[in-house]
Amino acid sequence: MFTKNKRGKFSLKGIGIKKPEGVAGSSVFAILVGLFVAFGGVLFGYDTGTIGGIITMRYWLDTFSTGYIDPKTGQLGITSSESSLIVSILSAGTLFGALFAAPVADWTGRRIALWIGLCVFAFGVVLQTASVDIPLFVAGRFFAGFGVGMVSMLVPLYQSETAPKWIRGAIVGAYQLAITIGLLLAAIIDNATKDLNNTGSYRIPIAVQFAWVLILGIGLIFLPETPRYLIKRGRHDKAAKSLGRLRRLDINDPHLIGELQEIESNYVHEQSLAKGSSYLQFLKWNTLGKRLLTGCCLQALQQLTGINFIFYYGTSFFAASGIKEPFVTSMITSSVNVFSTLPGLYLVEAWGRRRLLMFGALGMFACQMIVGSVGTAFPNGDNVAAQKALVAFVCIYIFFFASSWGPVGWIIPGEIFPLPVRAKGISMTTASNWLLNWAIAYSTPYLVNPGPGNANLQAKIFFVWGGCCLLCAVFVYFLIYETKGLSLEEVDELYESVGKAWKSTHWVPVEGYGKEWRGAGEGNGTGVVEGGKVTSAEHKEGVA
């Protein structure tokens, strides 16, 4: 009924993601590598999810309180400023970690940089586990955040540079799946230890993170360096071996040689255009400025959908809303988050990036408005039906986020930057994610909670997130290019050829792009050389 075009649209004969015809070698190993590296998302998700439960545990509050008495309970607690600092300091660390990761990744390689990030993270976990007061606990969260920031930038970078183009979106999207698994594990372990009347109540959830470090750290020993990084460093023989291992092809196979030549020639081409790989290149709108704005806004708006309000402060919010089992409710929302991410890994290749993001933005907007309305109309939590509706629409909202903005927010930044500046570009977009993450984590107690100097928005905060979701839809229409089914080198061609994002859906690359202008073989396209790159009628803006 439907046919598959050059951009990889799917037919009804084979619903699902499958290897296109004519692709040489095997993609199984590359897929397994990408999925394993995605495990780094567990660090991010678990550390994000566990803190909300820890700071509400009775034993932790009795141990770490500086003497503040919670007016609601009459027991020892922490102030809004202390809560903001403890939760948000992780994001401050991740901001610096993401920026630091770029030069390290370009200097040492993607794998070694990941190891460094894991070591910094482990140091932060040691400090948190050993702490008995807020200052040391905060220091530990900063270092853990620094490590998470490095890993959160490096994992999508590694995945993008090793994944086959036909399934790259799903592989990079698996990073978000790992984040959701981490959030779920955090909710389960917090719930299991919350009633312990000793330091194990909070030290066990924190110390569990050493397991994530060991699993990923040991696995990295056996993984290859990315062929694109090796090309960037001029190590062509090692690049051939790495790509051959990923594609399961002999280094003399013509398909492998052709892919290597495309990567190398595109790198040389981008170097000649950029005349370097400094941060100053991102100030030029027509080359990298538009891509940087796209990546930074995408990651910032991912945070402004309000998702981390649920996972940072969801336990506290549900308790304040009168829900009797807030820890259990957090487990439910975390479970929904995991399972809702799975359809997104299919839809990102079946629908494409633009359509999926638009679907998610509009769905989240509707849910946010309903949650805000229900929570505002029944603020005291004395209406059981209202409580159930609130939890239900929070779960539906999570479905829309997890199947769209969750994975795609990490996929696109890993695709849009050329090799000479890819690490720098991804580090800045990731830093923008963490900057907004920090701002939301820090400001939320002041915005939501009652008390002197606080805005006391409570459920009205969802109207703010809803407005941001509408802004997300506008952003997608004007700035998100459709990159489904394109190699990283073809994405460069897309940005050079198409001036308006909404026209990118119909764009098709010249077959054998780059071969004509580099003289490395016969191309199947109809391109001609103009100024060092291939152009054709298909390149013209807006032509399907």
For 13-67, the pLDDT digits (tens) are 433 556 777 778 888 999 999 999 999 999 999 988 898 889 989 999 999 999 8
Which sign, positive or negative, has the C-alpha torsion 67, 70, 74, 77?
negative
Dist CA 409 CA 372 (whole Å): 25
Residues 170 and 121 both lie in one domain: yes
Residue 521 predicted with pLDDT over 60? no
Other CB atoms within a 10 A radius of the CB of residue 22 amount to 6
Q: Does one domain contain both 388 and 531?
A: no
Q: What is the dihedral of CA 477, 478, 484, 490, to 10 degrees?
A: 170
Asked whether residue 171 is assigned to any structural domain, the reply reads: yes
Amino acid at 417: F
Give percent of the chain with pLDDT exceeding 90.
63
- Residue 531's SS3 state is coil
Give a yes or no: residue 501 inside a domain.
no
Which has the higher per-residue pLDDT, 285 or 154? 154
Other C-beta atoms lying within 10 Å of the C-beta of residue 392: 14
* pLDDT score at 274: 62
Q: Is the model more confident about 341 or about 284?
A: 341
> If you average pLDDT over residues 255-276, what whole number do you get?
83
CATH number, domain containing residue 429: 1.20.1250.20
448 with 525, same domain: the answer is no
pLDDT in tens, 402-417: 999 999 999 999 999 9
**Nearest Cα to 340, choosing from 393, 411, 399?**
399
Question: Which DSSP string corresponds to 73-113?
Answer: TSSB---HHHHHHHHHHHHHHHHHHHHHHHHHHHHH-HHHH
pTM equals 0.83
503's tokens: 């026209």
**pLDDT at residue 313 tops 50:** yes
Same-domain check for residues 420 and 322 = yes
| CA gap 533, 544 in Å, rounded | 20
Closest Cα to residue 80, out of 303, 313, 310?
313
- How far CA 423 is from CA of 166, 196, 227, 429, in Å, comes to 22, 44, 14, 10
- Domain shared by 408 and 512, yes or no: no
Return the pLDDT at 538. Answer: 39
Rounded Cα–Cα distance for residues 17 and 348 (Å):
10
- Give yes or no: residues 456 and 364 share one domain: yes
Q: Rounded to an integer, what distance in angstroms lies between the CA atom of residue 54 and that of residue 75?
A: 16
In this structure, the answer to whether residues 353 and 216 fall within a common structural domain is yes
Containing structural domain, residue 447: 23-230+278-479
C-alpha–C-alpha distance, residues 146 and 380, integer Å: 39
Is 386 within a domain?
yes
Q: Flag whether 112 is in a domain.
A: yes
pLDDT of residue 330: 79
- The answer to whether residue 262 sits within a structural domain is no
Kindly report the backbone phi and psi dihedral angles of residue 480, in degrees, each rounded to the nearest multiple of 5, phi listed first: -85, 120
8 A C-beta contact, residue 32 and residue 167: no
Q: What pLDDT sits at residue 13?
A: 40
333 to 162, 182, 252, 337: CA distances (angstroms): 32, 13, 50, 6
Instruction: Please tell me whether residues 133 and 195 are part of one structural domain.
Output: yes
Tokens encoding 28? 């199984």
Sheet strands (E) in 96-215: none
In a 13 Å sphere around the CA of 265, the CA atoms on its Cβ side amount to 21
Three-state DSSP class for 370? helix
Give the pLDDT of residue 250: 94
Same domain, yes or no: 474 and 541 = no
Q: Is residue 463 part of a domain?
A: yes
Q: Which of 113, 114, 106, 115 is nearest to 229 (CA)?
A: 106
Do 308 and 434 lie in a common domain?
A: yes
**Tokens representing 261?**
């030549």
| Intra-chain end-to-end CA distance of the chain, in Å | 20
Helix (H, G, I), strand (E, B) or coil at 533: strand
Place of tokens 């692709």: 23
Closest by CA to 137, choosing from 86, 197, 97, is: 86
What is d(CA 447, CA 433) in angstroms, rounded to the nearest whole number? 20
Q: How many residues make up the chain in this entry?
A: 544
Integer angstrom CA distances of residue 257 from 187, 252, 371, 529: 48, 7, 55, 22
Inform me whether the pLDDT recorded for 504 exceeds 80.
yes
- Rg of the chain over CA atoms, in angstroms? 24
Q: Are 298 and 174 within one domain?
A: yes
Q: Which two tokens stand for residue 438?
A: 């920090």
pLDDT tens string 425-462? 999 999 999 999 888 888 887 888 777 778 878 889 99
The total domain count for the chain is 2
Whether residue 518 has pLDDT greater than 60:
no
Contact yes or no for 243/260 (Cβ under 8 A): yes
Res. 361: pLDDT tops 80: yes
pLDDT at position 229 is 96
Mean pLDDT over residues 382-399, rounded? 89
| 370 and 420 in a common domain | yes
Establish if 140 belongs to a structural domain: yes
* pLDDT higher than 60, residue 209: yes
In a domain, 165, yes or no: yes
